[in-house]
Amino acid sequence: MSSTTMQTQTITADNVIRLFPDVDTRLATSHRVPTNDNDLQGYDEEQIRLMEEVCIVLDENDVPIGSASKKVCHLMKNIDDGLLHRAFSVFLFDSNNRLHLQQRASEKITFPDMWTNTCCSHPLGVPGETGDELVTAVQGAKRAAQRKLDQELGIKAKQVPLEKFQFLTRIHYKAPSDGKWGEHEIDYILFIKADVDHTPNPNEVKDTRYVSGDELKTMFEDDTLNFTPWFKLICQSMLFEWWEHLDKGLEKYTGETSIRRML
């Protein structure tokens, strides 16, 4: 599955409510999904509940302009109209420099059963995870990463302290999951090197494995395996070069202030 290239209109603080009435220009704490929501009929109950989480709605420069439910942000009809939100992707390496991968659970509403990086999710519109300036936004992404590593993989915060996360860059991409759902994100890329204990949440994660760079390349050659579009984009463009410098020279790649557009 590849990212799309269709041009969409620019979303701003001035037009976001007119275009998307479900967006709240305040950073709300919850957006209740109705129990009779037709878009979510037939999906896993816990994954439906998670669709109530509040994502941070952005303009194209990564400036927060409101909030909306995870459901609203991931409907392809909204994505095609330009709705954009903030995300993060964690790449966790062990002391042998092997990358921890996860296979997303079958219960997931978007991109089920696909292999991807260690953890991918969203900073929420809650205190500590938001941020208008890059420094505070990065800290918010790191806090969200800690939260989701525990929720998805049972990795406790003390094993992944905030100061050990390294922020590399942001990517702006868009990709469909199926006819109804998709992604349109500015994604914060975070590296961390740590030996951790993990107990995957089966509602989130189907399988895990540690791989070397060569083993990951071999996985990509296996036609029976599917990968999330953001993971493929990062692997095809930057990952292996970063990986080679994991222990020496990674600092020259960290803290990038520009947004990499991959549309």
State pLDDT tens for residues 213-249.
999 999 999 999 999 999 999 999 999 999 999 999 9
Instruction: Write the CA distances from 18 to 14, 31, 108, 201, integer angstroms.
Output: 8, 19, 30, 39
Q: How far is it, in rounded angstroms, from Cα 83 to Cα 207? A: 31
- pLDDT value at residue 25: 65
* pLDDT tens by residue, 163-208: 999 999 999 999 998 889 999 999 999 999 999 999 999 999 999 9
Which one is catalytic: 53, 129, 183, 185? Answer: 185
235 is catalytic: no
Instruction: Note the pTM of the prediction, 2 decimals.
Output: 0.87
The more confident residue out of 37 and 155 is: 155
- Residue 56 in 3-state DSSP? strand
- pLDDT value at residue 34: 56
Which one is catalytic: 120, 152, 183, 235? Answer: 120
pLDDT band of 160, cuts 50, 70, 90 = very high
120 is catalytic: yes
| Cβ 191 vs Cβ 166: under 8 Å | yes
The more confident residue out of 41 and 180 is: 180
Residue 72 pLDDT more than 90? yes
| Cβ 68 vs Cβ 83: under 8 Å | yes
- Residue 151 in 3-state DSSP? helix
